[in-house]
Amino acid sequence: MDSRRSARTVSDPKVRQVGFFTPAAPPERTCSDPPRQQDLIQPQPPSSTQVNDHSPSGDSLSPVMIPPPPHHHSDTLLRTALQVTSPKTAFSYSAKTVTIPAENDDVPSSLSPSRKVVTVRSPSSYPGVRASSVPASELTTVSVVNLPPGISEKAGGASVEVQNDRPVSSKSLKEKTSKAERRALQEAQRAAKAAAKGEGTKASSAATKVVTSANTKPSKAAKPSSQKNDGSQFAASEKKAGDRAPEKDRKKDAPHPRMQYDDTSRVEKAKKRAVVKQTEVRNRVELFRHLPQYEHGTQLPDLETKFFELDPMHHAIYKVGLQYLSGDIQGGNARCIAMFQAFKEAIKDYSTPPEKTLIRDLTARISSYVSFLIECRPLSISMGNAIKFLKNRIAKLPLALSESEAKATLMSDIDRFINEKIIVAEKVIVKHAVTKIRDGDVLLTYGASSAVEMILLHAHELGKQFRVVVVDSRPKLGGQLLLRRLVRKGLSCTYTHVNAVSCIMQEVTRVFLGASSVLSNGTVYSRVGTACVAMVAHAFRVPVLVCCEAYKFHERVQLDSICFNELGNPDAISKVRGREDINYLDGFVNRENLQLLNLVYDATPSDYVSMIITDYGMIPPTSVPVIVREYRREHLWS
């Protein structure tokens, strides 16, 4: 109800809009710097047609922006953009590609495939892949971390020029390079990559790389089709070396909780390690390529057969993982508790292998469990916090403690966490929230939130007279479960789908929402559709109360629901269960020009949230960072 900063509201939707444009709509995407691109296009060899360009770019990386058409490469040289989060990410990737080739001078000869790597166009390989083809780990780091100016300086003469005055120099460079030259360059690049594989570090080469990269681009563009097939493999293998270093750097300042799935090298690596074989869905929506999306239902049989082979995985973990996978356990708290119970069992059965220390070995063990769970389903933010807590407890164990004592301590810590942070917290939230329910209220809730359910039931027990509107949405229809429980207890309920929320909102006096997480800018990260409900409520001046335990708070800031999200099963939205007559999409699912997007979460800007009810009381969304600052340290890290 109280929008704290009204100005901000406007900008958000725009960003989202951009996301849903199909690759065919270049003007929108390119808007970041249209003039430059046009300049660039001209110099490029005729062979690279616009059409071709689009497809690769479409594959491309950037989570935030739609991938710019390929001619960007030259463009991107100049601006080595920073990270995934920055709107220019697309550029950053391409920038990497550019820098790669640097070493023609050093290693003139060697391999032919280098080109292919660069130009990979198969749908599965995303621009990230190309980026990953960077040879030396250090190089990548440079490009990723440093701002454009820094690079240019390092890169030495030619590159500097290119970067400083983009349009002119880049053009000229391209024009100058003859075919032979380009060839040489590419070979050099290949060599560099090969070298990089071996050594992993070649900072010195950075200077030359920039230049070469500029040159190479045209050639890439020219040969789009042939390379598709082999490209991905090369890229994957080569990238491994290159990507590590930047990873480390990133972790220092802001750890990325999740893998970027458009970063092929890492995906490949992860796949090798993976226990669960996931098949990736073919057609994915541009903006969300960095998120994992798998064909559902394919993994289970595979996992089952492996059940007895996997000794490192504790059976309890295995069970929980399967439950995540199949969707038997849903909801932040339930998942978190289930995970902790499984960890508890695993710890109970744990014995330190000889010549290892419990602290280190157990941490590693937990990490492997966690990565297994991530394979089953991406972690929620609350689970991430809980894991952080557990690992911290392990790390803080006194060395003198015997194994059994240590295990007992950990198990009691886990119990304490579940009890204090989840169960008691929820009770406190209920206590607070009930004070905001008055007789005659009409309360609206969306989806199924355990906290909201408890609030409603408790208020009903207190004899308050109110009505409940349960708003639900396909495909999960979690609201029906909530509705069932409420109706059984005798509450008077209305059930509707989110499509009707604007109609029903005018009679509503309070909106109670659950949350998967609350981020430190007050953004509420919750079940997809929540933002919609909150916005409608805001428009109708209905106060929006978000109920969220403080352990779900996260210090991250998120402005949209694109960077971090989860993709659900696309089949769930393309098919309607029990309605055989609605089969319009049968057989269309694998069409190239059809992309299905089933998002699981969305981000509600804090402007639409009137109040956040947590176990520390009722606070405005602007105070989330205060809670994070004051209490997180104390509870998680003490």
Partner 1 sequence: MWWRSASFILDRQQHQNNGVAPNPESLLLSSPPPSMADSALNPKSDVSAYYQSRASHHAVVTSDWLDQAQAAVDRHTDDGDSLGSDGIAAPISGGGEESGKAFSVIDEFNNWRKQPDLAEAVAAIRALAAVIRTSEATTMMELEIELKKASDSLKSWDATSISLTAGCDLFMRYVTRTSALEYEDFNSAKSRLIERAEKFGEISCKARRIIAMLSQDFIFDGCTILVHGFSRVVLEVLKTAAENKKLFRVLCTEGRPDRTGLRFSNELAKLDVPVKLLIDSAVAYSMDEVDMVFVGADGVVESGGIINMMGTFQIALVAHNMNKPVYVAAESYKFARHYPLDQKDMAPALRPIDFGVPIPSKVEVETSARDYTPPQYLSLLFTDLGVLTPSVISDELIQLYL
Minimal distance in Å, beta carbon 382 to partner 1? 21
Under DSSP, the state recorded for 555 is S
Residue ranges in 7-126 assigned as alpha helix (H): 8-19, 26-30, 34-41, 50-59, 72-78, 89-99, 114-119
Q: Pick out residues in 498-517 that bind partner 1 (CB under 8 A).
A: 510
- How far apart are alpha carbons 147 and 81 in whole angstroms? 7
Q: Tell whether residue 620 is a contact of partner 1 (CB under 8 A).
A: yes
Q: Tell whether residue 610 is a contact of partner 1 (CB under 8 A).
A: yes
Minimal distance in Å, beta carbon 437 to partner 1? 11
Residues pairing with 567 in the sheet: 599
Q: Tell whether residue 618 is a contact of partner 1 (CB under 8 A).
A: yes
Instruction: Identify the CA nearest to 471 among candidates 486, 490, 488.
Output: 486
Q: Tell whether residue 9 is a contact of partner 1 (CB under 8 A).
A: no
Minimal distance in Å, beta carbon 552 to partner 1? 17
- How far apart are alpha carbons 38 and 462 in whole angstroms? 68
Minimal distance in Å, beta carbon 142 to partner 1? 39
- Are the C-beta atoms of residues 259 and 270 closer than 8 Å to each other? yes
Site string for partner 1, 518-547 (x = CB under 8 A): -------------------------x-x--
Scanning 1-9, 114-122, 328-336, 352-360 for contacts with partner 1 by CB under 8 A, the matching segment is: 1-9
* Interface residue with partner 1, options 285, 448, 611, 628 (CB under 8 A): 611
Scanning 111-119, 328-336, 495-503, 612-620 for contacts with partner 1 by CB under 8 A, the matching segment is: 612-620
CA gyration radius, the chain: 26
Strand order in the sheet with 517-519: 553-554, 517-519, 524-527, 601-604
Residues pairing with 613 in the sheet: 547, 618
Q: How far apart are the first and last CA of the chain?
A: 37
* Interface residue with partner 1, options 187, 616, 628, 636 (CB under 8 A): 616
* Interface residue with partner 1, options 206, 471, 627, 628 (CB under 8 A): 627
Q: Tell whether residue 441 is a contact of partner 1 (CB under 8 A).
A: no
Counting residues that bind partner 1 (by CB under 8 A) gives: 24
Three-class DSSP category at 634: helix
Three-class DSSP category at 518: strand
Instruction: Identify the CA nearest to 213 among candidates 329, 104, 91, 375.
Output: 104
* Interface residue with partner 1, options 326, 330, 617, 635 (CB under 8 A): 617
* Interface residue with partner 1, options 1, 15, 359, 576 (CB under 8 A): 1
Scanning 83-91, 277-285, 563-571, 608-616 for contacts with partner 1 by CB under 8 A, the matching segment is: 608-616
* Interface residue with partner 1, options 32, 363, 502, 622 (CB under 8 A): 622
Minimal distance in Å, beta carbon 616 to partner 1? 6
Q: Please, which residue, 450 or 623, has the CB nearer to partner 1?
A: 623
Under DSSP, the state recorded for 285 is -
Minimal distance in Å, beta carbon 554 to partner 1? 18
- Are the C-beta atoms of residues 70 and 118 closer than 8 Å to each other? no
Packing angle of the helix pair 148-155, 89-99 (nearest 10 deg): 10
Site residues (CB under 8 A) for partner 1?
1-6, 436, 438, 510, 543, 545, 610-611, 616-620, 622-623, 626-627, 630-631
